[in-house]
Amino acid sequence: MLERLNLRRRLLLFFAAVAVGGSAAIGLGAWVAQRHMAEGAAGGAFVQAALIGIFGLLAVVVWVWLLFDEHVGRALIRLAAGLRSQAHAEAAGRFDAAPGRYLGDLGPAASALCERLAATRAELGEAVARETGRLQSEKDRLETLLSDVPAGVLICSTKHHLVFYNGPAADLLGAAVGPGLSRNVFDYLRDAPLRHAHERLTAGGDAEAVSDLTVATADGARILSGRMRLLDGEAGGYVLTLRDVTADLAAHAGQDRLLQEVFDRIRRPAANLLSVTGVLAEDRDNAALGQALADEAGALARSVRDLAERYEVSRGNWAALPATRSADLLDGCKARLLAGGIDLAAAPGEELILRCDGFEIVALVCAVARRLAASGDAGAFTLGVSGEAAGALVELGWQGRPLAIGRLESWLSEPVDPAMPDLTGRGVLATHATECWPEPAEGGGRLRLPIRSARAAGRHVPAIRRRVVYDFDLLFKSGDAALADTPLDDLVYVVFDSETTGLLPDEGDELCQIAGLRLVNGRRVAGEVFDTLVNPGRPIPPRATEVHGITDAMVADAPPVAEAVTRFGDFAQGAVLIAHNAPFDMAFLRRQAAVTGIAFDNPVLDTVLLSAVVYGRTETHSLDALTARLGVTIPEEARHTALGDTIATADAFLRLLPMLKARGLVTFGDVLTEVRKHGRLLADLNA
């Protein structure tokens, strides 16, 4: 019956209860006083009556206040929090009007408003989706093109913070946890070459200028050749393209060392030979000198032979030869010979990727085939490519007379193509550090040409990560404000969660899983995720396995606690940490400080306290309750997994952010001041 009364009448009932209760208390006091007066105790009767009236009135007021607080005050707070969720967190379809059941039409009116808001959002969303579909399609095509660029590409702000990187760049930087948006590029590359190149470009004032540079990764494991160009526009920043030249530099260094050794090893025998021959010219009958001459000549010959063999082995590493598919090489030979009226049957075989200049090899093979056909000694040509050890073997076969070695040698001294008179067959072989030779074959002959490096197509191919990560709004972030004055949207967050062997880190319980993800510019960054099982160094109790599903067998090969915590510390460097019931997780991380050297002194936000700021302390603030209020769904299979709970916490935080800003909590300092008022809540939770 009360729920059918309007709000004004319900408020009237509260005051009527005060009036009736107060009157009853006074009446009771008067009745007691009258009884005592009849018995002749007038003075005590009046005092007793006054006390009964006062305490009775106080009891009535407290009782009415409790009713008013429960059915009006708290109900209004809950309705306001629900409306704020609808307005800012977009928890469509989840507005709960039940707290307003005693507030008359306010609950239904709020429900109707939320339903209309949800419908309007849906209509607006459809319109925006239609209008942005074409732009999204173009954006996806552009991302696909950029992801296929084989060079590493970075875009950095004027503060040298990353705002763009592609898959090859992530591979080149070589960091254990990978690059991250808004992180300093000097965390991955030595700073001096980049600073000098940037200073040269900014001092020159030419927007079209580029600066070539060579830079090492921060760990010194790789040497990268790069090119820097400034970005146009007021945002500033620069584009950096990178290529790994570590192997090239090593090959050239090996070439220099070999040449130095050539001179050192030949110089002494040559000097000795010169001395011996001088003495021998004066004394032709001295047998000892003849033997010495023979020994020195033999030593010199052996040195020359040894050095020549090493030169043949290593010289192929000095030329940057492209990758050529065996099928393309066969097809190129067939097309070129067919154009000259020579039929060639290509023998299909295993698809190989050859490290060779396909044009030069095709030109050499076709030159030999054309000369054989022109001589009239050969016909019915076949060509095949087969794998051989770490390389491959190109084999040209024919019916007719075998080819003499001397004849082949004369052909190799001639140009392989009239259009390129400087390119001889011998030059092609020298470029590829190989030789070719003729052999007799059944019914004819064949020419064999080894390729030193080859691999099977489709296997052992280094994968190019087809993705690009970027947020160009970061170009406009100054990042100069103190932490307390920094707007919430300008901070970088790492949301994390852990699973453990138990709840008591001080009594030996340890981590068995850590997961985290980065939030930059108010959004989750795809690919910037940390997730690892951890070997706790102790058995995982069955009761813990029942919660998170992690067994001893699953963590047997996982990194130990110190290593996993160190890697997570690198991942979270410079970010604000966010967790649900953060003191619990932080205790497990900080107890490793003596081993890892990482203090985890990052600023920390707790979504339990943020929930209390938005919804009030009297609500339930578990992760399940918070995500349910905000419309965040946690798949059952992901609940109580570190990564699943991390994603849920991150989504909840992103929906709490606009609600905090709507309450006037705009900067990190504003939020920190507010959450400190609810610190007792965590103490009660972890008690």
Contact assessment for residue 379 and residue 443, using Cβ atoms and an 8 Å cutoff: no
Q: Measured on CA atoms in the order 207, 470, 490, 94, is the torsion positive or negative?
A: positive
> In three state form, how does the secondary structure of 130-168 look?
HHHHHHHHHHHHHHHHHHCCCCEEEEECCCCEEEEEEHH
Q: Cα torsion for 187, 189, 190, 193, to the nearest 10°?
A: -130
Q: Given 161, 580, 621, 640, which residue is catalytic?
A: 640
Looking from the CA of 337 toward its CB, the CA atoms found within 13 Å total 30
Question: Has 580 been annotated as catalytic?
Answer: no
CA dihedral over 462, 466, 469, 472, signed as positive or negative = positive
Reading the block at residue 242, the tokens are: 């990178």
Token pair, residue 587, equals 């205790």
- For residue 240, the surrounding DSSP H or E stretch is strand 238-244
Share of the chain residues as helix, strand and coil, in percent rounded to the nearest 5: 55, 20, 25
Separation between Cα atoms, residue 671 and residue 114, nearest integer Å: 27
Q: DSSP class of residue 99? A: G
**537, two tokens:** 């160094």
Termini Cα distance of the chain = 42
Q: Which residue, 618, 605, 587, is CA-closest to 660?
A: 605
Residue 36 neighbours by CB under 8 Å, 6+ apart:
42, 44, 45, 48
- The owner of tokens 């075998």 is 402
Asked whether the beta carbons of 578 and 493 are under 8 A apart, the reply is yes
Q: Kind and range of the H or E element at 61?
A: helix 42-68
Residue 435 CB neighbours (<10 A): 13
Distance of CA 307 to the CA centre of its chain: 47
Q: What is the separation of C-alpha 658 from the centre of its chain, rounded to a whole number of angstroms? A: 27
> How far is the C-alpha of 575 from the C-alpha of 519, rounded, in Å?
9
Q: What is the DSSP string of 267-336?
A: HHHHHHHHHHHHHHHH-TT-HHHHHHHHHHHHHHHHHHHHHHHHHHHHHGGGS-PPEEEHHHHHHHHHHH
Count CA within 13 A, CB hemisphere, residue 672.
12
- Is residue 416 helix, strand or coil? strand
**62 contacts: CB under 8 Å, gap ≥ 6:** none
Residue with tokens 């084989």: 150
Amino acid 124 reads L
CA distance 630 to 458: 47
Q: Which residues belong to the active site? A: 640
